[in-house]
Chains A and B, each alone.
Chain A
Amino acid sequence: MTPIQRWGATAGILVLAIAATFVLDPYRNYLLAMTAAYVCATSGLSLLVGRTGQLSLGHAAFMAAGAYAFALTSNALAEADAPGPVHLLVPFLAAVVVASVVGLIVGVAGARLHGPYLAGLTLALVIALPAIASTFGGLFGGDAGLYVSVERRPDWLSTVIATEQWQAWVGLIVAAIVFGALAQLVRSPSAIRMQAVRDDESAARLSGIDPVRVRVGMFGISAAAAGLGGGVLAYVTQAVSPGAYSLTFSLFLLVAVVIGGVGTLAGAVWGAIVIVLVPEITTAITEALPLPAELSQRLDGNLAIVVFGVILVVVMLAAPQGIHGAVAALTGRLRRRRPRTAPPAPTT
């Protein structure tokens, strides 16, 4: 596909999704908006882990960076009485810039490291996040967080669609932009460079590819994408607080990526859907069961965590390609095979 075709395909999916918002109830539209936010984060993370082998256990921290930047900018613009489109778009810009910068810093610190060192670093980052919010409480609103003054749905649409629908539109459009951009990335020379670094770092270096640059670049990109996701979350929930970007949430993002199919963009979408739906299901189960209130409270939230943990382990051991791999295998079997060339003759 050419780039134009790829953007066209993304736009087509976007139109379908927007059409879907007309038939969904407000709560489902809210979930759709959340899914869109998650897709921003998971698509970047999927490529980061799958293509450059960098395990980020604290990706929610980049979403938080974007969300806080969004919140502070949006509030400032609201106070300055900025015009509608500016109030809507500039905070997103702030989100992506701030998240990128944080991502680049972390990426540089971890660029020469692999495996556990980098993972541990990102873990330390996400655990320090509530501490950062508390310490600079004046700016970040401490543990309670900030309320965000967002640019609401334009008046001329108020008779046509509900607030939640508008929020879903904003989320979907941002997600489409992120998804489309990353879809271009995976077909660009950058993706080939990433593959080269993954396969054989020394050989790549000899070919003139700088592995550090490749890794840091992808880190920054994935952080930027996550930052936009954070901006969407801030927009839709009209709030930002450290509790929403916890370690648990970061791990959910990782689960999403692995379940969906690590390294693939389609997988990122599957994964985002899973991490939105499963908690809904577990909450429904918890509420349906006749349990004492205290136990019910303890189950809520924790049940989803246990389920995700189990799914993560099972997928890693039994189906490492995730949903995407399963789907690809299925459609591969259904598709008619083209004649294969003979395998190469064995060398002695």
Chain B
Amino acid sequence: MSTVLLLLGAGLARGAVFALFALALVLIWRATRIANFAQGAMSVAAAYLAYLVLVGTGSFALAIVTVLVVGAAIGFGMERGLMRFVPSRSPLNSIIVAIGAVMVLTGLLGILFGADYKPVSVPFSREPIMIGELAIVSPYTLFVFVVVAVVVAGIALLFTRTSLGLAMRASAFDDEVARLNGVRVSRMRTLGWMLSAAVGGLAVLLAVPTELGLSPHSGDLLFVNAFTVAIIGGLDSPVGAVIAGLLIGVLLTVVTTLWGATVGPIAILVLLVVVLLVRPQGIFSLRKARLA
């Protein structure tokens, strides 16, 4: 029983991080119809700077603030400095340019920081809380849940209750009508990228303490996992991203506990293949598969 709870807790925590990262992907997709393949690298770059702040000041709170600010700045730079110049004729173009950005970021991180894993320590215990004989979740896991819940709720409120959120959604659904109604669509796009990069950076920062550490290639696996989550949830659906993230987090934790950590990527691959063959539009999306 205790093991099950622990697994569930760990799985959900991992899933919460996946959900956050997938949400970042969904945000950009909804705002710009671009699948941001640079999400992983951008987020890891922000996380590295947060790591420096953490090592320098010892404050995890400051690190969180850093990752959000730096992430937003990276998102701004990517959109204003690069992605808006990509000819939109073919959707492949933006993917390829994003890949170029990934290579530059990853290479630079490797040059600046080296390939070794930088461990990230957190001010919360990773030991599970005991209630009698039962080991439940660790304080760190609870912390992750809270943070993710706050961020997801914040984003949901932003989009459904505020004028800014309405402007962003309008820009995504019909940019011509949005412009005719005075919405500065290009600003909304930039904002979408900034938000997405900040959220992605936060996700990486939350994920890293439970792994070996931060490395330039951390973004690759994280992107694939988040991408799978976003696909399964339906690229258009933020709710789907969250639910799918939690489910896949639990699934992955079960699989790796049973068969070892190396099996993880295989499980993700199999899951992705199955979903793409059976229901490409994702489990929660009500639309037909976007032949993007």
Contacts and interface: CB of A to CB of B under 8 A. Distances in A.
Secondary structure class of chain B's binding surface, majority of residues: helix
A183 to B, nearest CB: 24
B96 A305 contact: no
A308 interface: yes
A309 B110 contact: no
A34 B90 CA distance: 32
Contacts of A336: none
A130 B264 CA distance: 11
Interface stretch (B43-51, B180-188, B224-232): B224-232
A247 B273 CA distance: 19
B114 interface: yes
A57 B276 CA distance: 17
A119 B86 CA distance: 18
Interface in B87-131: 87, 90-93, 95-97, 99-108, 110-112, 114-115
A302 B105 CA distance: 10
A316 interface: yes
Given A302-B110, A313-B101, A117 B266 contact: no
Contact of B90 (A53, A117, A132): A53
A254 B235 CA distance: 25
Nearest to A316: B97
A115 B160 CA distance: 29
Nearest to B221: A127
Contact of B276 (A115, A121, A297): A121
Contact of A116 (B85, B95, B265, B269): B95
B280 A251 contact: no
Nearest to A318: B85
B35 interface: yes
B103 A306 contact: yes
B93 A135 contact: no
Interface in B224-248: 224, 227-228, 231, 235
B207 to A, nearest CB: 16
A201 B35 CA distance: 22
Nearest to A309: B103
Interface residues of B, number: 54
Given A124-B265, A312-B99, A114 B291 contact: yes
A302 B92 CA distance: 25
A239 interface: no
A211 to B, nearest CB: 10
A324 B209 CA distance: 47
Interface in B245-292: 259-260, 262-266, 268-269, 272-273, 276-277, 280, 289, 291-292
B37 interface: yes
Given A130-B262, A310-B100, 17 more contacts: A108-B277, A115-B92, A116-B37, A116-B95, A119-B35, A119-B95, A120-B231, A127-B224, A255-B100, A298-B115, A302-B106, A302-B110, A303-B107, A304-B107, A307-B107, A313-B97, A317-B97
Interface of A: 49, 53, 55, 57, 108-110, 112-117, 119-121, 123-125, 127-128, 130-132, 134-135, 247-248, 251, 254-255, 258, 294-295, 297-299, 301-313, 316-317, 320
Interface of B: 35, 37, 82, 85-87, 90-93, 95-97, 99-108, 110-112, 114-115, 217, 220-221, 223-224, 227-228, 231, 235, 259-260, 262-266, 268-269, 272-273, 276-277, 280, 289, 291-292
5 contacts: A53-B92, A109-B273, A124-B272, A131-B263, A305-B106
